[in-house]
Amino acid sequence: MALGKDYATQECSIAHALEIVGERWTLLVVRDALFGVRRYNDFLVHLGIPRAVLSTRLQKLTEQGLLEKRQYQQSPPRDEYVITERGIALWPTLRALGLWGREHVTETPLRYFRHADCGTELGPYGECPTCAIVVPVEDVLMEPGPGLDPDPADSVSRALLKPKRLLEPISV
């Protein structure tokens, strides 16, 4: 039997998760939110995503409780999107996916993710092999790798050229 438009009839947790994060762009929005991107224009410039698609993804991720909309300015009203615990819980999935990409697709590391306390690169589950702990997301330090080739017109990529902790808001 062919799969329907959604996977609701699949008795599988992966299929259920893909109902929320399986659309093109969605995991990249979550990734950027983990990197500390919060503002609409910053997502827009960093992802190079069509405006209508970004608006829909931000709205859906907010409805699903992965992002929380917060007003950061009253006049004129401006909102930012802050990743929630539910969204942060996708970090090990993204870490594993990124390592898979490095091993099977890109070959040259684009970014390193390290335990901020000891500098060891994280394993595929977000764990620190040196300290034998799963590193809390706020203690993950991200650094540019040799394969990174940022677009000079993209202020978020430029901001990410400096080592920073995950979740720490990007200031551009």
Report in angstroms how near the CB of residue 121 gets to Zn ion at its nearest: 10
Which stretch in 36-44, 50-58, 117-125, 138-146 sits in contact with Zn ion by CB under 5 A?
Answer: 117-125
Q: Residue 48 — left, alpha, or beta (φ > 0 → left; ψ -120 to 50 → alpha)?
A: left
Residue 130 near Zn ion by CB under 5 A: yes
114 binds Zn ion (CB under 5 A): no
Smallest distance, Zn ion to C-beta of residue 140, A: 10
CB of 132 to Zn ion, least distance (A): 8
Among positions 34, 115, 122, 142, the unique one binding Zn ion when judged by CB under 5 A: 115
Please tell me the distance from the alpha carbon of residue 106 to that of residue 100, in angstroms, as a whole number.
9
Q: Of residues 10, 84, 120, 155, which one binds Zn ion by CB under 5 A?
A: 120
- Report whether 140 contacts 115 (CB < 8 A): yes
DSSP code, position 20: H
Of the candidate spans 2-10, 111-119, 136-144, 148-156, the one that interacts with Zn ion by CB under 5 A turns out to be 111-119
95-128: b (≥16 Cβ within 10 Å) or e: beebbeebeeeeeebeebbbbbeeeeebbeebbb
State which residue, 41 or 130, has the beta carbon closest to Zn ion: 130
Give yes or no for residue 129 binding Zn ion (CB under 5 A): no
Q: What is the dihedral of CA 48, 93, 138, 166, to 10 degrees?
A: -20
Residue 131 neighbours by CB distance under 10 Å? 13
Residue among 122, 128, 156, 160 that touches Zn ion (CB under 5 A):
128
Q: What residue ranges bind Zn ion (CB under 5 A)?
A: 115, 118, 120, 128, 130-131
